[in-house]
Structure 1
Amino acid sequence: MGDFFYPATFPKELCFVLKRELLYVPFFGWALASLRMIHINRGDREKAREAVAAQGKQVLKEGRWMAIFPEGTRTSRLL
């Protein structure tokens, strides 16, 4: 439950980098799209890097902070 309140503890608004596919989830994705986050296509690595760099500059210019969680599905699970 604390995960929902964590972003509220920061002094500036956060902007998350997320995979574009999340925008296609009904209702959840539509709400996510309205939050002005940086969405990337993980299938095209170079374009994803360029999107984070370009949109990230704008986010910082607006006075927001960026949050990136690069581990995602890129690491194997340890069971």
Structure 2
Amino acid sequence: MVSAMVNSIGLVFDIIGAMLIYFNSPISEGGSFLYSSDETARRIKKATKKNNLVKLGAGILLVGFIIQIISNWV
């Protein structure tokens, strides 16, 4: 029973991590655009925040997998 609960906790971590990665992955835009320096700074700030959330999601996903592996021995 404990093993199933630990495995479920790991699965929840995996789902949260995967959602963070999915919703914060960069969108492919075709073409080229010229932006003002203010717009460029805003876009860089937004991209940095999204990149940090993707890294967080990958870390949470890794923790979820580790928890699921541990559940095999609990």
| TM-score of the superposed pair, with normalisation by structure 1 | 0.26
Q: Which has the higher contact order (CA 8 A, sep 6+)?
A: 2
Specify the structure having the higher radius of gyration (Cα).
2
- Relative to total residues, which structure has the larger helix share, 1 or 2? 2
- Relative to total residues, which structure has the larger strand share, 1 or 2? 1
